[in-house]
Amino acid sequence: MLPFLFYENRNKYTDLRFLAAASSDGEINGISGFSGKIVAPEIGEVTEGGAVYFQLRDWGTGSIFGSRKNALIKLILKTKEDRSMFRLLCQEGTARRGEFVTPHGVIQTPVFMNVGTAAAIRGGLGAMDLSVLGTQVLLCNTYHLHLRPGDDVVYALGGLREFTRWSGPVLTDSGGFQVFSLAGLRKITEEGVTFASHIDGRRIFMGPEESMRIQSHLASTVAMAFDECIQNPAPYEYTRRSCDRTYRWLVRCKEELDRLNGREDTLNRKQMLFGINQGSTYSDLRVAHMKQIARLDLDGYAVGGLAVGESAEEMYRVLEAVEPFMPADRPRYLMGVGTPVNILESVARGIDFFDCVMPSRNARHGHLFTSRGIINIANQKYRTDPAPVDEACGCPTCRDFSRAYLRHLMKADEMLFFRLAVQHNLYFYNRLAADIRAALEEGRFRSFYAEKREIYGKRI
Ligand SMILES: [Zn+2]
């Protein structure tokens, strides 16, 4: 009963990754016959489950040799290119410039996704505004849309892209974060979470399967896995058990989404799935969980559970610990982060995708990001100021309107203020991502980062 090797090979542009499952008393002796260069001919550590990973750098046919109790095993491998969607264009240190090909368009990374929680950007912005603002991805919220209007409504109207008339890629979060932060009284079991709606208090159950079904109804480009979000700091032992459960939930998410993508009546049968790394601020738990989820070969990987109470330095430390274990050939998404400086620091640590409500939320309070620092438009000094919010900005607000006019609109509580302010801040964030991409392409990200991080956090 010998076959103890098998391989797993999915869609890579650069690396072919194989998984050889060896029993702990077995060993893998060699690889031969591949047309391509073997990157890691010496086999890595055998994990607890007896799995070994190694990588090859080309497509082809060949074999792997192994032995177990002196019996030689040979496995013939045939590799072929399949659905690989992420391509690294260039790198500077750990900072990455890439391209993510989706059925709804190509996303240039690093990218800042624009948050439209309930299928609109708060501040009165819709699909007609987004392309002008340089938006690449619209992010919508599973929890909110499930409660109102109901994902069955969105499904009946053809999915989120038809419903909102935004034709580009859409990412839906799983609802996990809201279930754990917004919903009242909840009960967590292995099956999922029972909670009370924050709108009318009615009891709702959501587990991995429910989250996938809702996101499949919403027909987003990318669905996020359903995970448990815990506050920082969290006790070590609780975090460890929570990571294990989040892993089991992820396996269920993958199975359910595969099943849904196979159905005739599914709107987007090419819906992709990103897994989410958890583990609070414990580097060892973060790394162990990342290694575990990386083996599921998902379309992308997110780091969740950060920016929820820990310091920025702790967040960067966690990213540095986890980054080496995030698959290099998949997009990496840092959820819910953050300030322009957080984004620069995280790009430097290998992150590709971001989202945050900060540009729209801060705009509504008069805090506007500019190329010279952050301004508070309510300030008396702008009362008669004819200059635009930011002379270096090309957004529709700065093209036409003065600081004095915006300040007046804010003081008069005019709705137009929210629209103009949010437009400017979103444009600033999208532009920041575009500037980061340009700096990476030109090999000057380090100097760009050093210069801008001094400026972007400053209040002026
Ligand atoms: Zn502007």
Shared domain for 207 and 350, answered yes or no, is: yes
How many angstroms does the Cα of residue 432 sit away from the middle of ligand 1? Answer: 12
Query: Whose structure tokens read 């359903």?
Result: 226
Annotated catalytic residue: which of 129, 173, 227, 352?
173
CB atoms within 10 A of CB 348: 21
For residue 15, the model assigns a pLDDT of 38
Rounded distance between C-alpha atoms, residue 262 and residue 60, angstroms? 29
Q: Is residue 7 part of a domain?
A: no
Shared domain for 321 and 376, answered yes or no, is: no
On the CB side of 268, how many CA atoms lie within 13 Å of its CA? 31
Rounded distance between C-alpha atoms, residue 117 and residue 88, angstroms? 29
Contact of 276 with 311, CB cutoff 8 Å: no
How many angstroms does the Cα of residue 297 sit away from the middle of ligand 1? Answer: 40
How many angstroms does the Cα of residue 23 sit away from the middle of ligand 1? Answer: 60
For residue 342, the model assigns a pLDDT of 97
For residue 229, the model assigns a pLDDT of 87
Shared domain for 209 and 348, answered yes or no, is: yes
Rounded distance between C-alpha atoms, residue 458 and residue 51, angstroms? 49
Could you confirm whether 258 is annotated as catalytic?
Answer: no
Query: Whose structure tokens read 């480009």?
Result: 221
Q: Is residue 393 part of a domain?
A: yes
For residue 84, the model assigns a pLDDT of 54
Which pLDDT tens digits describe the chain residue by residue (460 residues)? 222 333 343 333 333 344 443 433 444 444 443 333 333 333 443 333 433 444 443 444 445 555 444 444 444 444 444 445 898 999 999 999 999 999 899 999 999 999 999 999 999 999 999 989 999 999 999 999 999 999 999 999 999 999 999 999 999 999 888 888 876 768 899 999 998 888 888 999 999 999 999 999 999 999 999 999 888 889 999 999 999 999 999 999 999 999 999 999 999 999 999 999 999 999 999 999 999 999 998 999 999 999 888 999 999 999 999 999 999 999 999 999 999 999 999 999 999 999 999 999 999 999 999 999 999 999 999 999 999 999 999 999 999 999 999 999 999 999 999 999 999 999 999 999 999 999 999 999 999 999 999 999 899 9
Q: Is residue 249 part of a domain?
A: yes
Identify the CATH number of the domain in which residue 151 sits: 3.20.20.105
For residue 417, the model assigns a pLDDT of 98
3-state helix, strand, coil in the chain (%, to 5): 35, 25, 40
How many angstroms does the Cα of residue 164 sit away from the middle of ligand 1? Answer: 24
Shared domain for 128 and 154, answered yes or no, is: yes
For residue 249, the model assigns a pLDDT of 97
Cis peptide bond prior to 233, omega within 30° of 0: yes
Contact of 337 with 310, CB cutoff 8 Å: no
How many angstroms does the Cα of residue 369 sit away from the middle of ligand 1? Answer: 9
Shared domain for 31 and 64, answered yes or no, is: yes
Q: Is 359 helix (H, G, I), strand (E, B) or coil?
A: helix
Last residue of a domain, one of 306, 336, 356: 356
Rounded alpha-carbon distances, angstroms, from residue 286 to 54, 150, 290, 317: 22, 34, 6, 11
Please count the structural domains in the chain. Answer: 3
Could you confirm whether 355 is annotated as catalytic?
Answer: yes
How many angstroms does the Cα of residue 398 sit away from the middle of ligand 1? Answer: 4
How many angstroms does the Cα of residue 379 sit away from the middle of ligand 1? Answer: 18
Shared domain for 386 and 325, answered yes or no, is: no
Annotated catalytic residue: which of 299, 329, 352, 355?
355
Shared domain for 341 and 391, answered yes or no, is: no
Shared domain for 31 and 72, answered yes or no, is: yes
Task: Look up residue 174 and give its amino acid.
Answer: S
For residue 306, the model assigns a pLDDT of 93
Domain that holds residue 271: 102-356
For residue 231, the model assigns a pLDDT of 82
Query: In this structure, what are the phi and psi dihedrals at residue 334, rounded to the nearest 5 degrees?
Result: -100, 110
Last residue of a domain, one of 78, 112, 132: 78
Shared domain for 302 and 374, answered yes or no, is: no
Rounded distance between C-alpha atoms, residue 277 and residue 304, angstroms? 6
Shared domain for 38 and 139, answered yes or no, is: no
Q: Is 215 helix (H, G, I), strand (E, B) or coil?
A: helix
In this structure, what token pair is assigned to residue 210?
A: 């429910």
For residue 243, the model assigns a pLDDT of 96
Q: Is residue 6 part of a domain?
A: no
Shared domain for 59 and 186, answered yes or no, is: no
Shared domain for 128 and 266, answered yes or no, is: yes
For residue 64, the model assigns a pLDDT of 52
